[in-house]
């Protein structure tokens, strides 16, 4: 019995030390193009003006892009994708979406391509990448940690007169380092029933600022933005609708990030 108790004690001590061991993240160098392969959080800057591109529906204009190996596990080429799995006319990526194969130099961690086929499209659109590079632990993210840095210049048939500098870091998974989705618009009401000549004021409870408002039929009702303030990035405000003649119409509120909300108006 004594021997059994000693063995049990030794087992518990061993288990305790094992449970305290810290293990690193799983290696991701199984890709044939690592460390160029990865998921990245980037911004796009107009090289000519220095302005950061406003990515619709994203408040801080950061977005995810992807680099990954080819099906043949090439060590001289990789896929580059800016955009979702597919791109539609309503996608926030539509004006700069890219999917194609680029040439790489693994030893120097660089990549480039000239007039590559953009596989998001079927009409022969092309794109080019220059000065592409990855720097290991090359930047510090908002969460305070080190991350690999990526940068390259992008030209494309989608924006023939623009060159974008794309720059950012390997995705960390920390909340502070993730792209920040834009607010959805919230209104105090989305319908209004008015008499001719009557007005109604509606609260904008949440949105992304720089509001514009339109009426499908301004002969029936018009609308204006009364106020807008930056309150903890919620951008509350007020709008007023004025009824002019009997009928029905729709008023549309749109904000800086391309979010919109409809107000159905009935005038008696």
Q: Which residues of the chain have pLDDT under 70?
A: 1-29, 88-92, 232
Do 192 and 169 fall within a single domain? no
Q: CA 164, CA 30: separation in Å to the nearest integer?
A: 31
- Integer Cα distance of 252 and 244 in angstroms: 17
Distance, in Å, from the CA atom of 265 to the CA atom of 38, rounded to the nearest integer, reads 49
204 with 82, same domain: the answer is no
Residue where a domain stops, chosen among 177, 205, 225: 177
Neighbours of 107 (CB within 10 A): 7
For position 234, which CATH number holds? Answer: 2.60.40.3440
Residues 101 and 141 in one domain: yes
pLDDT tens digits, one per residue of 146-184? 999 999 999 999 988 899 999 999 999 999 999 988 889
Contact between residue 231 and residue 194 where contact means Cβ atoms under 8 Å apart = no
Residue 195's pLDDT is: 97
Residue 155 is predicted with a pLDDT of 96
Residue 93 confidence (pLDDT)? 74
Q: Specify whether the CB–CB gap between 187 and 238 falls below 8 A.
A: no
Pair type for strands 191-194 and 260-267? parallel
Number of structural domains the chain divides into:
2
Say which DSSP state 34 is in: T
**What is the structure's pLDDT at 89?**
66
What backbone torsions phi and psi does residue 200 show, to the nearest 5 degrees? -140, 140
**3-state class (DSSP) for residue 107:** coil
Predicted local distance difference test score (pLDDT) of residue 16: 43
Give the range of the structural domain holding residue 253, as residue numbers without chain letter. 186-267
Gap between the Cα atoms of 49 and 164, Å rounded: 10
Question: Which tokens in the block code for residue 21?
Answer: 């061991």
Give residue 60's pLDDT. 83
Do residues 164 and 195 both lie within one domain?
A: no
CA distance 252 to 259: 10
Judge if 239 and 258 occupy the same domain: yes
Please give the pLDDT value at position 31.
87
255 and 232 in a single domain? The answer is yes
Tell whether 17 is covered by a domain: no
pLDDT the model gives residue 114: 98
Using one digit for the tens of pLDDT, what is the confidence trace for 89-101?
Answer: 666 677 889 999 9
Neighbours of 198 (CB within 10 A): 14
């Amino acid at each position: 019995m004594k021997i059994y108790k000693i063995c049990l004690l030794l087992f518990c001590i061993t288990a305790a030390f094992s449970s305290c061991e810290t293990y690193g993240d799983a290696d991701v160098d199984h890709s044939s193009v690592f460390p160029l392969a990865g998921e990245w959080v980037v911004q796009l800057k107009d090289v000519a003006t220095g302005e950061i591109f406003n990515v619709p529906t994203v408040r801080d204009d950061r977005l995810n892009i992807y680099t990954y190996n080819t099906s043949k596990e090439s060590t001289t080429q990789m896929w580059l994708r800016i955009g979702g799995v597919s791109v539609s006319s309503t996608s926030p990526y539509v004006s700069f979406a890219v999917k194609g194969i680029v040439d790489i130099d693994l030893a120097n961690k660089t990549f480039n391509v000239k007039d590559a086929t953009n596989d998001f499209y079927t009409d022969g659109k092309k794109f080019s990448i220059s000065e592409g590079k990855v720097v290991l632990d090359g930047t510090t993210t908002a969460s305070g940690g080190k991350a690999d840095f990526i940068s390259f210049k992008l030209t494309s048939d989608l924006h023939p007169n623009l060159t974008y500098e794309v720059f950012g870091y390997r995705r960390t998974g920390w909340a502070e380092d993730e792209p920040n989705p834009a607010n959805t618009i919230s209104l105090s009401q989305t319908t209004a029933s008015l008499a001719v000549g009557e007005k109604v004021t509606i609260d904008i409870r949440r949105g992304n600022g720089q509001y514009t408002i339109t009426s499908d039929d301004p002969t029936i009702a018009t609308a204006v933005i009364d106020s807008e303030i930056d309150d903890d990035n919620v951008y509350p405000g007020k709008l007023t609708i004025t009824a002019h003649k009997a009928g029905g119409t729709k008023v549309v509120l749109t904000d800086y990030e391309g979010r919109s909300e409809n107000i159905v108006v009935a005038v008696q």
